[in-house]
Structure 1
Amino acid sequence: MSTLQPTFAPQRVALLGAGRVATQLGPALVQAGHQVVSVWSRTTASAQRLAAQLPSAIISPSLDFSSQPLADIYLLSVPDAAVPEVLAAANFPAGSLVVHTAGALPLALFEAYPNVRGGVFYPLQTFSPGRLIEWAAVPLCVEAADEAGQAVLMALAHSLSDLVRPVATLQRQRLHVAAVFAGNFTNHLLGISHTLLAEVNLPFELLAPLLRETVEKALAAPPFSVQTGPAARRDAPTLARHQAELTAHPTWLTLYKALSDSIQQQLPPAAPNNEAGL
Structure 2
Amino acid sequence: MKISFIGAGNVAWHLAQAFEDAGHWICEVYSRDTQKARQLASSLYDTNIQPDLNFSESEAEVIVIAVTDDAIESVIQRIVLPEGVILVHTSGTRSLAEFQKLVEIYSDVYVHTGVFYPLQTFTKDVEMDYSELPFCIESRNELIEAKLTQLASSVSNNVTRMDSDERFILHVAAVFASNFTNYMLTISHDLLDREQLNFDLLKPLIQTTIDKALLSDDPSIGQTGPARRGDWKTTARHLEYLQETNEDYTEIYRLLTDKIRNLYISK
Fold match (TM-score > 0.5): yes
Higher relative CO (CA 8 A, sep ≥ 6), structure 1 or 2?
Answer: 1
Match of 1:153 in 2: 148
Q: How does 1:46-65 map to 2 (within 5 A)?
A: 46-65=36-55
- Output the CA distance in 2 between the equivalents of 1:143 and 1:237: 51
Match of 1:21 in 2: 11
CA distances 1:63-89 after superposition (whole Å, capped 9, x unpaired): 1211x2321101011111111110111
- Output the CA distance in 1 between the equivalents of 2:76 and 2:7: 12
CA distances 1:161-183 after superposition (whole Å, capped 9, x unpaired): 11111111111111111111111
Q: How does 1:137-152 map to 2 (within 5 A)?
A: 137-152=132-147
SS in 1 for 2:255: helix
Cα deviation for residue 126 of structure 1 reads: 1.0
CA distances 1:56-115 after superposition (whole Å, capped 9, x unpaired): 22111221211x232110101111111111011111122321000111111112223233
SS in 1 for 2:26: strand
Cα deviation for residue 150 of structure 1 reads: 0.4
Give 1:260's match in structure 2, choosing from 242, 257, 260: 257
Q: How does 1:44-123 map to 2 (within 5 A)?
A: 44-66=34-56, 68-108=57-97, 109-114=99-104, 115-123=110-118
Give 1:224's match in structure 2, choosing from 214, 220, 228: 220
Match of 2:246 in 1: 249
Query: Which is richer in helix?
Result: 2
Query: Can you give the 5+ residue segments of structure 2 that lack an aligned partner in the other structure?
Result: 105-109
- Output the CA distance in 1 between the equivalents of 2:266 and 2:30: 56
CA distances 1:175-206 after superposition (whole Å, capped 9, x unpaired): 11111111111111111111111222221111
CA distances 1:101-138 after superposition (whole Å, capped 9, x unpaired): 11111111222323322111111111113212221121
SS in 2 for 1:56: coil
Query: Can you give the 5+ residue segments of structure 1 that lack an aligned partner in the other structure?
Result: 1-10, 271-278
Q: 1:269 to 1:50 in 2, by over 3 A?
A: closer
Cα deviation for residue 268 of structure 1 reads: 4.7
Q: Which runs of 4+ in 1 moved over 4 A?
A: none
CA distances 1:132-156 after superposition (whole Å, capped 9, x unpaired): 2221121111111211110011000
1:203 aligns with 2:198: yes
SS in 1 for 2:127: coil
Match of 1:237 in 2: 233
SS in 1 for 2:220: helix
> Please, what is the CA RMSD of the aligned residues?
1.4
- Output the CA distance in 2 between the equivalents of 1:199 and 1:51: 42
CA distances 1:237-257 after superposition (whole Å, capped 9, x unpaired): 111111011012000100001
Is residue 76–residue 102 contact of structure 2 (8 Å, CA) maintained in 1?
A: no
Report the residue type matching 2:250 in the other structure: L
- Output the CA distance in 2 between the equivalents of 1:131 and 1:244: 38
- Output the CA distance in 2 between the equivalents of 1:29 and 1:95: 21
Is residue 13–residue 35 contact of structure 1 (8 Å, CA) maintained in 2?
A: yes
Is residue 224–residue 266 contact of structure 1 (8 Å, CA) maintained in 2?
A: no
- Output the CA distance in 1 between the equivalents of 2:44 and 2:214: 37
